Amino acid sequence: MKFLTAAKPWLQRAGIAIAVIALLYAARNPLLRAASHWLDVGQAPTKADYVFVLPGNEQTRPFVAAALIKKQYADGVLIPSNQITTEVFAGLEMPAQEKIKRAIVARGVEESKITLLDSATTSTWSDAKALAKFLSSHPDSTVLVVTDHFHTRRARWVFQQVAPNITSQLLYVSAPTDGWNQDDWWHSKAGIRYVTTEYLKLAFYLLRYGDLTTWLVILTVTLAFAFWRLGRFRTSKRHPADETTASTVAPEEPNSISKNLTPGC
């Protein structure tokens, strides 16, 4: 009887865990869709002065930028210059900014409307710094930031950290992706790779560049919860469930107590 009494809480927890897992499995499709859509904070484009193309996917982003120019959402294109890689230095590969520029020109945009920023970027963080530097000399300009839909949330967060004073001048436009979409990304190897990698990158950026105060609060709350659970566990070990129950029940006659301890009751 003591074994059953002690095991009962664990059986209840196991049952709850199984129920939660079953519920998550049943709702997996909506949850997975929500995970992808949460990353997308892109908005419908409005009139701006420039389109800023983030390097990283030359298959779609330049074409979205060209379409925005041709539809007169903006008058000019800004492209950050990437740091020269070994492949580029050896002449084995074209610089990313040149790929983007050529793709935009091929879509009918005049080359005179394209500005290559003087930079040596290696990440979204340094791309944001390059744009912030440009806007420091163009304080009244507004910009449409073009990137992949799953990258827009991290890009927005990065710009907010790098240059919070220019965030009101920016609007993020989502570019589509080839070979997969947000509603069934888990059915595609590319979708799985991009979505899961983006969450890892987002976590990395939060850890590396995030506000220290925020992380201290999160760590404090986590440790407090862990110590509280540890205290509950130690208390339950010192006061087993059957002894606790016996101490809270009104005294009974000896015969009735012996009946309650009879196996099978």
Which residue range is the domain that position 54 belongs to? 38-180
Q: Does residue 44 sit in the same domain as residue 171?
A: yes
Query: Given a cut of 50, is residue 72 above it in pLDDT?
Result: yes
Kindly provide the b/e burial profile for residues 65-80, where b requires at least 16 CB atoms within 10 angstroms of the residue's own CB: bbbbbeeebbebbbbb
Helices 152-162 and 189-209 meet at what angle, rounded to 10? 20
Whether 78 and 133 map to the same domain: the answer is yes
Please tell me which residue, 198 or 216, carries the higher pLDDT value: 198
**Within a domain: 167:** yes
Lowest-confidence region among 31-35, 36-40, 135-139, 209-213: 209-213
Same structural domain, 150 and 221: no
In a domain? residue 235: yes
Residues 224 and 129 in one domain: no
d(CA 216, CA 76): 43
* 17 inside domain: no
Domain end (from 180, 201, 222): 180
pLDDT tens digits, 102-121: 999 999 999 999 999 999 99
Domain total in the chain? 2
- Based on the domain organization, do 154 and 98 belong to the same domain? yes
Cα 71 to Cα 55: distance, rounded to the nearest angstrom: 22
Please tell me the pTM assigned to this model: 0.73
Residue 176, domain CATH: 3.40.50.620
Residue 202 lies in a domain: no
Asked whether residue 140 is domain-assigned, the answer is yes
Instruction: Give 74 or 9, the one with higher predicted confidence.
Output: 74
- Is residue 48 domain-shared with residue 125, that is, in the same domain? yes
Do residue 138 and residue 47 come from a single domain? yes
DSSP letter for each residue of 21-46: HHHHHHTHHHHHHHHHHHH-------
238 versus 128: the higher-pLDDT residue is 128
Place of tokens 């294109």: 77
Interatomic CA distance for residues 87 and 98, integer angstroms: 14
**Residue 93, domain member (yes or no):** yes
CA-CA distance, 124 to 159, in Å (whole number)?
9
Task: Please state, for a pLDDT cut of 90, what percent of the chain lies above it.
Answer: 58
- Position 185 scores a pLDDT of 94
Give the per-residue pLDDT at 258: 36
- Tell me the pLDDT band of 88, cut-offs 50, 70 and 90: confident
Compute the distance between CA of residue 214 and CA of residue 224 in angstroms, rounded to an integer. Answer: 15
| Mean pLDDT score of the chain | 82
170 and 234 both lie in a single domain: no
Q: What's residue 232's pLDDT?
A: 62
State yes or no: pLDDT of 96 exceeds 80: yes
pLDDT tens digits, one per residue of 10-44: 666 766 667 667 665 555 688 899 999 999 999 99
Q: How is residue 202 written in tokens?
A: 């987002």
pLDDT of residue 243: 44
Q: What are phi and psi of 79, to 5 degrees?
A: -130, 120
> Does 236 lie in the same domain as 105?
no
Q: What is the pLDDT of residue 156?
A: 97
Torsion, CA 33, CA 34, CA 37, CA 41, rounded to 10: 180
The token duo for 143 is: 């910009």
Q: Is the pLDDT of residue 147 over 50?
A: yes
Tens-digit pLDDT profile for residues 160-203: 999 999 999 999 999 999 889 899 999 999 999 999 999 999 99
Give the model's pLDDT for residue 20.
65
Q: Could you tell me if 176 and 220 lie in one domain?
A: no
Token pair, residue 76, equals 């000019």
Tokens found for residue 114: 């394209």
Task: State the pLDDT confidence band at 91, using cuts at 50, 70 and 90.
Answer: confident
CA within 13 Å, CB half, 97: 20
* Same-domain check for residues 108 and 151: yes
In a domain, 187, yes or no: no
Backbone angles phi, psi at 118, to 5 degrees: -80, 95
CB 80 within 8 A of CB 119: yes
Above pLDDT 70, what percent of the chain? 69
98/139 same-domain check: yes
Residue 146 falls within a domain, yes or no? yes
Dig out the tokens for 214 from the structure.
Answer: 């925020």
Phi, psi of 16 (to 5 degrees): -65, -45
